[in-house]
Amino acid sequence: MKTVYKLTLGLLLLLTACENDLDQVPPNIASADSLEDFTGVLNAAYFYQHGSVTPMAVMGDFRADNAFMFEAPFTEFDEFDADLPAMEDQFFGPFYTALYRSILSANNVIENSSNANDVGEAKFLRALSYFKLVQVFGDVTVNLSATPPTDDASIFVRQPASDVYNNVIIPDLQDAIAALESESVNGRASRLAAQGILGKVYMHRGDFANAQTQLAAVISGASAAGVELQENFTDIFGVDNDLNSEIIFATQISSSIVDEYGFSEFWSWSGGLDTKSLMPLDVDLIAAFDAVVNDTLPGGDLRRAVTINEELMASPKFPQTGGPDHDWIELRLADVILLYAEALNENGANAAEVLALLDPIRLRAGLTNLDPMVLNTQALVRQAIQDERRLELAYEGQRWFDLVRTGTVDAEMGQTINSQFHLFPIPISEILATGGVITQNPGY
C-alpha cells in the first residue's frame, strides 16, 4: 500500500501563491528562523510536483507520434508553429508555477534544515524540477534562495540551459547521492533515484561516459535496494500497483489530497476521457506495435493490450478505475536499463553486450531476443533501442523528449520541424509579470 505524504496545517499555508512564480514567499508561514522541523516544507516540495505531472505527460506523448488532440485549439500540439502559447492556462502555466513552488520549498529546506537526509531529498526535488523545466523550456530563470530578492530584476533573466545543468541540476543530484540511502522509504527520494535521474540528465547532455557510470550504479544496486523488474508488464500500472518493485521514483498522488492542477489528469487524457481528445491513440503507435509481429513469441507483444485499445483508440495503461489515485512514474528500472544499453552503444560496446540488456524486457513483453548478427552496427542497435523505448514507455511522458535528445524528431515524425519548436513556449503571464525581463522562446 502506498504512503502519501501527510499534509499539516503548516503545509497548507504553503499553498498561498503570489503574483509571480519566483516571488513565492507565502505571507502566512512562520519565518525559517522559528522553525526547527522542516518536514512540512519538504512535503510541500513533493506536493508541488503534482502540478507538473499532467502537463509533462501531454507534452511527452501528444506532441509526439503516440497521441494527438481532436479538438481545436488543442490540435496546436500537432502543429509546429507560433500558436501553441494558447495552451498556456491548461499546460505550460500550471507546469511552470508548480515547479517553481517546489523549488522554493526545496530552497527553504536546503538553507535552513539541519537534517542531512531532508536536505538530500530537497536537493533531489530541486534538481528534478529544474531538469523538467530545461527539458520543456530550455533556458530558465534560476532561484536558489528561500527568500529571493524580488526587487532585483536580474533574478528573472533566463539562464542558459547548459549553466542550469552544470551549476544546479548535476551538483544537486551529486549532493543527493551522497546524502541519501539507496533504499526508498515510503516512496521518497533515494540514492538510487538520484543516480538514475543523474544518468538520464547525462544522456540528455550527450555525456554518455558519465551516463554509463551512473546508470550502471543503479542497475548494480537495484537488488539490494529492493528494486527489480516486475514479472508481468501489466503489474507495473494501476492504483493497486503503485510503488511496486520496478518503481525507482514516482510522484505520489491521492484523491484525498486536493491537487492544485484543476484540469483533466494524465490518465483522463491517455484514456480518451477528455472531450478535447476522445480518441487520442495515434495510428503511428499502432503501426509500431504491428512492426514487431514477426519477433513475438506465441501470444504476441504482451505490452500491446496494456498500452493501446484499438477499438476505443485510446490507452488503458492507467485505468479509469482508481484514476485519481494513480501515481505518476518518474523513473522505473526498465527505463534505466534501456538508457544504460543506449549509453553502452554510444560508447562503442559490441552489439551482443548491448542487446543482451534488452532480453529481460523483451522476454517479459513476449518478444524474442534481438540477434547481434543481424543488428551488427551501432546505428542498427541505436534504432532498436529507440524502438524498444517507444513501446515500453508509451504514455509515460517520454517519447517527445527522447526524440529531441536523440536528434530524431524529423525522422520519426515524418516531417521537417523547425528546431525552435522542440521547446515549448514560456507562459506569457510570466513574461508580462516581469515586464518582459523573462523572454519568450524563439518562434512563439
Q: Give mean pLDDT, residues 16-27.
A: 37
Q: Give mean pLDDT, residues 369-384.
A: 97
Cα separations (Å) of 319 from 268, 308, 314, 326?
Answer: 9, 11, 11, 9
- How sure is the predictor about 12, in pLDDT bands with cuts at 50, 70 and 90? very low
Question: How much is the pLDDT for 395?
Answer: 98
Count Cα atoms within 13 angstroms, Cβ side, for 56.
Answer: 25
Q: pLDDT digits over 165-177, tens only?
A: 999 999 999 999 9
Q: What are the beta bridge partners of residue 233?
A: none
Question: How much is the pLDDT for 36?
Answer: 72
Tell whether the model's pLDDT for residue 358 goes beyond 50: yes
Q: Is 377 helix (H, G, I), strand (E, B) or coil?
A: coil
Question: How much is the pLDDT for 405?
Answer: 98
Predicted TM-score (pTM) of this structure: 0.93
Question: How much is the pLDDT for 5?
Answer: 53
d(CA 391, CA 307): 8
Q: pLDDT digits over 308-332, tens only?
A: 999 999 999 999 888 899 999 999 9
Question: How much is the pLDDT for 260?
Answer: 79
Q: pLDDT digits over 33-78, tens only?
A: 556 789 999 999 999 999 999 999 999 999 999 999 999 999 999 9
Question: How much is the pLDDT for 15?
Answer: 38
Tell whether the model's pLDDT for residue 150 goes beyond 80: no
C-alpha cell at 283: 495510428
Q: Could you tell me the domains of the chain? A: 9-416 (1.25.40.390)
Closest to 203 (Cα-Cα) out of 11, 27, 372, 343: 343
Backbone angles phi, psi at 331, to 5 degrees: -160, 130
- How sure is the predictor about 259, in pLDDT bands with cuts at 50, 70 and 90? confident
The percent of residues in the chain predicted with pLDDT above 70, rounded, is: 92
Total count of residues recorded for the chain = 444
Is residue 89 a contact partner of residue 423, using CB atoms and an 8 Å limit? no
- How sure is the predictor about 14, in pLDDT bands with cuts at 50, 70 and 90? very low
> ω into residue 73 within 30 of 0, thus cis?
yes
Q: Which residue did the predictor score with more confidence, 253 or 18?
A: 253
- Which spans in 237-324 are helix H? 266-270, 283-290, 303-307
Q: Which residue did the predictor score with more confidence, 19 or 305?
A: 305
What secondary structure letter does DSSP report for 381?
Answer: H
Q: Give mean pLDDT, residues 281-304.
A: 88
d(CA 363, CA 296): 9
Chain mean pLDDT for the chain: 91
Tell whether the model's pLDDT for residue 122 goes beyond 60: yes
Please report, for the chain, how many H helices and E strands are present, in that order.
18, 2
Question: How much is the pLDDT for 25?
Answer: 35
- How sure is the predictor about 4, in pLDDT bands with cuts at 50, 70 and 90? low
Backbone angles phi, psi at 321, to 5 degrees: -65, 120
- How sure is the predictor about 383, in pLDDT bands with cuts at 50, 70 and 90? very high
The contacts found for 146-151 with CB under 8 angstroms, 24 or more apart, are 146/25, 146/32, 146/104, 146/107, 146/108, 146/110, 146/111, 146/112, 147/25, 148/22, 148/23, 148/25, 148/104, 150/20, 150/22, 150/23
Question: How much is the pLDDT for 33?
Answer: 53
Task: Choose the weakest-confidence range: 1-10, 107-116, 269-278.
Answer: 1-10
From the CB of residue 442, how many other CB atoms can be counted at a distance below 10 Å? 12
C-alpha dihedral sign at 94, 97, 101, 107: positive
